[in-house]
Amino acid sequence: MGKAKIKKCALCGRQIKGERFILRIVCYSAYDGLEIEPWDLRKNFKKLIEEEVKKIKKLSKRKLMEEVAKWWEFSLCKKCASKYRKNPLRIKNPAPLSGAGRGDK
């Protein structure tokens, strides 16, 4: 019947022949808690809430979801996956993740 779909690497564009790696990226709004300062208490909360509700009503459901969280899924070849793991954001001098690489020589 149908052949398995040929997957291409999302980074180099080559056909993935060996091991295939899945890269999932999720970008979502962080919840850093709610800090209320004394001067916040003088705000008109009813008005602020009404304004927020108005803004939300104007946005489409899709747009609203994208503002909260967005995710992607890519297939990568082994070579690109290992490259990606070293520096996912392609930052010049990436700070190592805590604990990552410790003990390596």
- Kindly list the distances between the CA atom of residue 32 and the CA atoms of 29, 35, 86, in Å, as whole numbers in the listed order: 9, 9, 28
Minimum gap (Å) between residue 89 Cβ and Zn ion:
17
3-state secondary structure of 15: strand
Please report the beta strands in 8-102, taking only residues with DSSP state E, as ranges in sequence order. 20-28, 69-77
Nearer to Zn ion by Cβ, of 90 and 102: the residue is 90
Distance, CA of 61 to CA of 54 (rounded, Å):
14
Nearer to Zn ion by Cβ, of 17 and 55: the residue is 17
Q: Report the interface residues with Zn ion, using CB under 5 A.
A: 9, 11-12, 77, 80
Minimum gap (Å) between residue 6 Cβ and Zn ion:
14
Nearer to Zn ion by Cβ, of 15 and 59: the residue is 15
